[in-house]
A and B are shown apart, each in its own frame.
Chain A
Amino acid sequence: MKMTKFFAWLAIAIGVIYFFVPLLGTFEFSLRMRRGEYSFDAYGSVFSDIQFQQTFGFSMLMALFTIIFGMLLVVPTAYWVRLRLPQMRPVVEFVTLMPLVIPAIVIVFGYLRLYNSSSYIPFTGSTFGTNVLLVMSYITLSLPYMYRSVDTAMRTIDVRTLTEAAEILGAKWPTILFRCIFPNVMSGVLSGAFITFAIVMGEFTMAALLNRPAFGPYLQLVGANKAYEPSALAVIAFAMTWLSMGLIQLVSRLSKMAPARRA
């Protein structure tokens, strides 16, 4: 019994060392910009860089659009599959898992062949069009996480009966979806939103190949040309991801304690 406990703790210790030592090393290195003492100079340099602000802002905006349009696609789909087309569930699950199987670079090359400036739908012919294409590619990438989080939240409510209850009280589809279903799957929507945010903020391939000024390519650029700032940026990126994960935990815990309340 004691031996088992010892090995369990040993496994945890190895895991912690494996994950945290490089992170601590990176953090420690990011503080060494000033010769002979620790400082946050690297962070100051990063935050004062106009390119950091621009790329960070751009990626935030893209993340926001990805979340909004992704949820507008995923919530009605998950709802419809659950309510009317349960036999389609394996197909939809397979489709939503595709981005995990197909590398991002293959997807983006597919996009470029289909939507280049000389194609029938020339998304890449303008900056706005390319941004739209970038948002769509981010939606594709985050589909496995968004769909699963929303579908799991829908499993916790009786979608069919709630829909029928609303329908017999005279409600039409938009009312049912946005007033009866959406608020009750908000925990899933928020979980999906935070994970999407984390994915979009760190994504490199799509943005680089579509030549958009996103945070991912900026990370790569800084990494290739500076010494201490990349470490600071890596720590910032980790902090953002952890913050998103923490918020997912918080939302799911709050939703377990009490259903959504009206303000």
Chain B
Amino acid sequence: MSFLVLDSLKKSFGQTQVVKDFNMSIEKGEFISFLGPSGCGKTTILRMIAGFETPSDGTITINGRNQSGLKTSQRNIGMVFQAYALFPNMNVFDNVAFGLKVAGMPKAEIETRVKEMLKLIHLEHLADRYPYQMSGGQQQRVALARALAPKPQVLLLDEPLSALDAKIRVSLREEIRQIQRQLGITTVFVTHDQEEALSISDRIVVMNAGRADQIGTPSDIYNRPATRFVASFVGTLNIIDALVADPAANTISIGDNVIPLREPIGALKAGDKVSIALRPEAGSLSESAKGDTALTGTVVSSHFLGSVVRTKFEVGGNQISFDMFNAPDKVLPQPGETVTLRFAASDLLLIRD
């Protein structure tokens, strides 16, 4: 049986149902990210696991034990908050020791455990500092140590990197992942940042309007989005309106271009509208590029973005973006120029709404 099971979880606030029949099983030691826009219900699920919110229906089971009726303080869960939530009146040592003191651990053991935790986050030298004397990144590392000190069975991370600057976010997320692997602790991470979720998760749950649109590995979520929402939310994606050209040959038409599709079109007839998706990085203008499919159109704009150049071209009323790696001698496609984008037919995804 899975370690953390969310079974038919529902939550309503008044008339508004924010979590709709959510099911998920999480294995021990897994790192799961809940990804979605604001108001999609991801934080509500996290808060239900923590015991801050009571589910309207459904059950939460951790290590075979139903958590219904257990107070937050009885669940043995660690949590890191977006706003750090360190106790301002306590120094780093006392903050990390708080959960251990509450649990009634002997003083000597508390000291050993706190030192161990501070070593884990590389902040042994700041044990006497108060939260106001530390940077945001340091405070969040202390918050992580505080959450881990009582050896919780599950670690919840509620957008812990949102309040930090870009560089610290990257280094801290790697540190969090490394510590999670080292301790083997089952972790649920809530974020609205797709890059964060893609980079550190074993599996990602893409939430939309209270439901899980897709649950899968980062690679699955990015390369094989199950719905239009997942496709548009994760990464940059071209959603192209096309018409079924020949159902028997499994081809579609975009403007004057007729191209094959790997995925079966199904019961659609010729002339029916379909939506297909194409990642900007999937194609290339080079004639030697690998790819059995091509789209020809007129360049609308080219933008230099540093490491890549993003070009938009128009085909059959669709504006399609594609990225090329930057090089000093690169000549940017000019507006009005006709270009042919080559890509593999397998890069085209049929979007089901």
Residues of A within 8 A of B (CB): 157-158, 161-162, 164-172, 175, 179-180, 183-184, 258-262
Q: How far is the CB of A214 from chain B (nearest CB, A)?
A: 36
Q: How far is the CB of A95 from chain B (nearest CB, A)?
A: 27
Query: How far apart sit A165 and B90, CA to CA, in the bound complex (Å)?
Result: 13
Q: Mark B88-116, 1 if CB is under 8 A from A, else 0.
A: 11110010001100110000000000000
A170 touches B73 (CB 8 A): yes
Residues of B within 8 A of A (CB): 50-52, 71-79, 81, 83, 85-91, 94, 98-99, 102-103, 130-132, 143, 146-147, 150
> Can you show 20 pairs from A to B with CB atoms below 8 A apart?
A162-B87, A164-B79, A164-B85, A165-B79, A165-B81, A167-B71, A167-B72, A167-B73, A168-B75, A168-B78, A169-B73, A169-B102, A169-B146, A171-B73, A172-B73, A180-B87, A184-B88, A259-B130, A259-B131, A262-B90
B77 touches A168 (CB 8 A): yes
A259 touches B150 (CB 8 A): no
* Chain B residues, Cβ within 8 Å of A259: 88-89, 130-132
Q: How far is the CB of B95 from chain A (nearest CB, A)?
A: 9
Q: How far is the CB of A179 from chain B (nearest CB, A)?
A: 8
A170-B103, A184-B88 known; A261-B83 Cβ under 8 A: no
A164-B52, A165-B79 known; A170-B88 Cβ under 8 A: no
Q: Which residue of the partner chain A has the closest CB to B87?
A: A180
Question: What number of A-B contacts does a CB cutoff of 8 Å give?
Answer: 77
* Chain B residues, Cβ within 8 Å of A184: 87-89
A166 touches B79 (CB 8 A): no
* Chain A residues, Cβ within 8 Å of B88: 157, 184, 259-260
| Contact with B132, one of A165, A180, A258 (Cβ below 8 angstroms) | A258
| Contact with A169, one of B51, B52, B98 (Cβ below 8 angstroms) | B98
Query: How far apart sit A21 and B72, CA to CA, in the bound complex (Å)?
Result: 62
Q: In this complex, which of A166, A168, A259, A260 has the most chain B Cβ atoms within 10 angstroms of its Cβ?
A: A168
* Chain B residues, Cβ within 8 Å of A164: 50, 52, 72, 79, 81, 85
B102 touches A165 (CB 8 A): no
B83 touches A161 (CB 8 A): yes
| Contact with B130, one of A166, A167, A261 (Cβ below 8 angstroms) | A261
Query: How far apart sit A209 and B90, CA to CA, in the bound complex (Å)?
Result: 47
Q: How far is the CB of B124 from chain A (nearest CB, A)?
A: 19
Query: How far apart sit A118 and B78, CA to CA, in the bound complex (Å)?
Result: 58
B85 touches A165 (CB 8 A): yes
* Chain B residues, Cβ within 8 Å of A165: 79, 81, 85-87, 143, 146
Query: How far apart sit A167 and B79, CA to CA, in the bound complex (Å)?
Result: 10
A166 touches B98 (CB 8 A): yes
Q: How far is the CB of A177 from chain B (nearest CB, A)?
A: 13
Q: Which residue of the partner chain B has the closest CB to A162?
A: B85
Q: In this complex, which of A165, A171, A259 has the most chain B Cβ atoms within 10 angstroms of its Cβ?
A: A165
B89 touches A168 (CB 8 A): no
Query: How far apart sit A36 and B102, CA to CA, in the bound complex (Å)?
Result: 70
Query: How far apart sit A157 and B200, CA to CA, in the bound complex (Å)?
Result: 32
B87 touches A168 (CB 8 A): no
Q: Which residue of the partner chain A has the closest CB to B78?
A: A168
A259-B130, A259-B132, A261-B130 known; A170-B150 Cβ under 8 A: yes
Query: How far apart sit A199 and B83, CA to CA, in the bound complex (Å)?
Result: 39
**Which 6 pairs from chain A and chain B are nearest by CB?**
A169-B99, A183-B89, A165-B85, A259-B88, A161-B85, A170-B102
A175-B102, A259-B132 known; A169-B89 Cβ under 8 A: no
Query: How far apart sit A162 and B87, CA to CA, in the bound complex (Å)?
Result: 7
Q: How far is the CB of A34 from chain B (nearest CB, A)?
A: 53
* Chain A residues, Cβ within 8 Å of B85: 158, 161-162, 164-165
Q: Which residue of the partner chain B has the closest CB to A157?
A: B88
Q: How far is the CB of B193 from chain A (nearest CB, A)?
A: 20
